[in-house]
A and B are shown apart, each in its own frame.
Chain A
Amino acid sequence: MSSLWNRFSRVRELPVAVAFVTLVAITATLNPRFLLPQSIKDLLLNATIIAILAAGQAMVIISRNVDLSVGSILGIAGFATGALFASFPTIPIPLVFLIGIGIGAALGAFNGLLVVTAGVPALVITLGTLYVFRGINNAWAGGTEHFSGDRPKEFSNLSVDTVFGLPIITLLAFVVIAAMAVYLAKFRSGRDFYAIGSDPEAAKLFGIPVARRVLTAFVINGALAGLAGVLYASRFSSVGARTGTGLELDVVAAVVVGGVAIFGGSGTVIGAAIGAFLLTTITSALTALRVDKFWQQAVVGGLIISAIVIDRISTLRNARRLRLEQARGTTAVSAAGEGL
């Protein structure tokens, strides 16, 4: 029983999940209207796009990389969606999704190939592509914006209609997150990402195809950013040159708050997704609690910092516990196996 508790208390996404549940519980107690079906739907819609981006980013960060260009990828895919519907009003919706995801995957592959073949840190490469992709988007879009009026009703309805009370695009996000979570937790190639993130050299010696896995992470992350771009065009009324600007740091913040270590090797997609829900919900919660709107971003900043501090403290405690266990001669529990 105590070992079960031990295992439970060491789940990395526990603090963020507790924080999320507490936030919702307190807000709902003080302002019952917070949990009306319509407000829940809005909460879910707001979180959907960041949650998808966070799931992809988590995979990249777990493998000890980072992709700062996701906001720009989302921008291009979003604008492409608007442009497609404007030029070909009868284009089938699934085809638009495929094109958006394809654009994202191609841009992600560009990032991944540069990182893998040049051996340059991902932070530097994707900081560069953040500007390049955004510049391309600006050159393409110029001053034009595509409004939801150009898009078929069924496409916009994806963010309006609900199934079991959940908006369709949120359901889609849940499916994506679940698939990613299962892949990273249960598949051998999925576990490789943790090994690479813990120690790339050791992973290479162990025979893991590091380059191929890192490339995969970037392609999947790019594809998800492309998907998020298409969903953005469904959710919001206009897409233009500035769509998705500055989103990258929000996404990284969500991933870090969700318990993914910034230097790789630990954390889960589920945690990152909860982090995204926490960061997007807190703004609505503060509004529901009638906190001055000017204070809201400061509170979000404070929350990110406390999440990192809590994570740091628990890491130090775990490290000490492991040392003590080893000193006593008991076999230390395999840390990697539990995603510590």
Chain B
Amino acid sequence: MTTASEIGRSKLWQRINTRDIAMLGVLLVVIVVNSFARDNFASTTTVGFLLLDVIPIMMLALPMTFIIISAEIDLSVASIVGVSAATIGALVLREENMILAAFAGVGVGILAGAFNGFLVAYLGLPSLAATIGTLALYRGLALVIIGDASVGSFPEAWTDFVQSRLGATGIPTPTIAVLIFIALAVIMLHYHPFGRGLFALGHSPQAARFVGVKVEHTKFWLFVASGLVAGLVGLYWALRYGSARSDSASGLELTVIAAVLLGGVSIFGGRGSIPGVVVAVLLVATITYGFRLQRISDVVLVIITGALLIASVVAPNYYQRIRERWKLITRAKDSPTS
């Protein structure tokens, strides 16, 4: 028998127990534990290197969140980063103006995203299949553009800017741009009709159409946005690592998707939040960084990404099932007469 107080408790409980807050708690615990356990963890160097490496994943995760919430997926993002970096590299190699090269790189990203959008929104192809195709295509085009060259001769002013820190905080300057993007994403997804349309789209395209969402139009621009961000990351990648190659960011798409799903976005669409994804990206990066300080190899640490991802989706379901079982047992005890 449920009483009013029980309902109240369960609502409050649900509110405190939301995934995002639980994840944030885990992140804080990880930071605190690491700071106490390792002398060199709580330092500006840590903040700097951690953020520098997190930026590409964080940026790519934002449009990916939008896309997965609307029940699509973009597997080609890492290849777009590659083709954008390759374009910039090839132009720099021909001693073109760096500003021109940067715009060309981002422009290529937008074009690549638009082609994805065309395939998915207007030809109606399943995005999972279509973007596996463009994953191969864009990586191939990166190879066509730059061949097996590795270009590192970027103007120092540009590379220095990307590596520069905000005063003595150790926070890399590009972080400001990332924060602006995160804020934009939060507003668009959670405080704007466009975002509500995406959730509707993820639940049911037919229903979304009925409430006035322009389904094709929306999907197309989502993929363009994803391409734009991937183009920007391509520019960042070339400058941050001081090298543009055809295989830049190769394989990063799965890391990004893993982070988004860990952040509580449903792979079936219709559920998820930007804060959850942001916390998830930081969580994986912090745990990995902490272990890296103990000289455990990065390639072994991918276990953490995988295990967290599995635990985060499996645990709530098992918990739910145990609770239902428990409810059945207690109900049977409560009402022996019926």
Q: Which of A118, A127, A301, A312 contacts B257 (CB under 8 A)?
A: A127
> Is there an interface contact between A295 and B137, defined as CB atoms closer than 8 Å?
no
CB-nearest residue of chain B to A299: B140
Chain B residues within an 8 Å CB radius of A246: 250-251
Q: Which of A132, A142, A294, A305 contacts B143 (CB under 8 A)?
A: A294
Contact code string A212-254 (vs B, CB < 8 Å = 1, else 0) = 0000000000000000000000000000010001100100110
> Is there an interface contact between B309 and A124, defined as CB atoms closer than 8 Å?
yes
> Is there an interface contact between A305 and B119, defined as CB atoms closer than 8 Å?
yes
CB-nearest residue of chain A to B115: A305
| Contact of A135 with B132 at beta-carbon distance under 8 Å, contacts A120-B313, A121-B268, A123-B267 already known | no
CB-nearest residue of chain A to B147: A294
Chain B residues within an 8 Å CB radius of A337: none
Contact code string A95-122 (vs B, CB < 8 Å = 1, else 0) = 0000000000000000000100111110
A-B contact count (CB 8 A): 143
Q: B7 → chain A, closest Cβ, in Å?
A: 27
> Is there an interface contact between A131 and B133, defined as CB atoms closer than 8 Å?
no
CB-nearest residue of chain B to A316: B124
Chain A residues within an 8 Å CB radius of B133: 253, 301-302, 304-305, 307-308
Docked complex Cα distance between A263 and B318 (Å): 26
Docked complex Cα distance between A119 and B324 (Å): 15
Q: Which of A117, A132, A256, A296 contacts B310 (CB under 8 A)?
A: A132
> Is there an interface contact between A135 and B251, defined as CB atoms closer than 8 Å?
no
Q: A34 → chain B, closest Cβ, in Å?
A: 22
Interface residue A297 (Cβ < 8 Å from any Cβ of B): yes
> Is there an interface contact between A135 and B303, defined as CB atoms closer than 8 Å?
yes
Q: Which of A123, A130, A138 contacts B300 (CB under 8 A)?
A: A138
Chain A binding site: helix, strand, loop or mixed by DSSP? helix
Docked complex Cα distance between A241 and B134 (Å): 28
Contact code string B137-151 (vs A, CB < 8 Å = 1, else 0) = 111110110011000
Instruction: Identify which of A114, A118, A119 gathers the most chain B CB atoms within 10 Å of its CB.
Output: A118
| Contact of A297 with B297 at beta-carbon distance under 8 Å, contacts A125-B310, A136-B303 already known | no
> Is there an interface contact between B267 and A121, defined as CB atoms closer than 8 Å?
yes
Chain A residues within an 8 Å CB radius of B125: 308-309, 312
Q: A32 → chain B, closest Cβ, in Å?
A: 28
Q: Which of B306, B317, B318 contacts A130 (CB under 8 A)?
A: B306
> Is there an interface contact between B306 and A128, defined as CB atoms closer than 8 Å?
yes
A-B pairs, top 3 by smallest CB distance, nearest first, are A301-B137, A298-B140, A131-B306
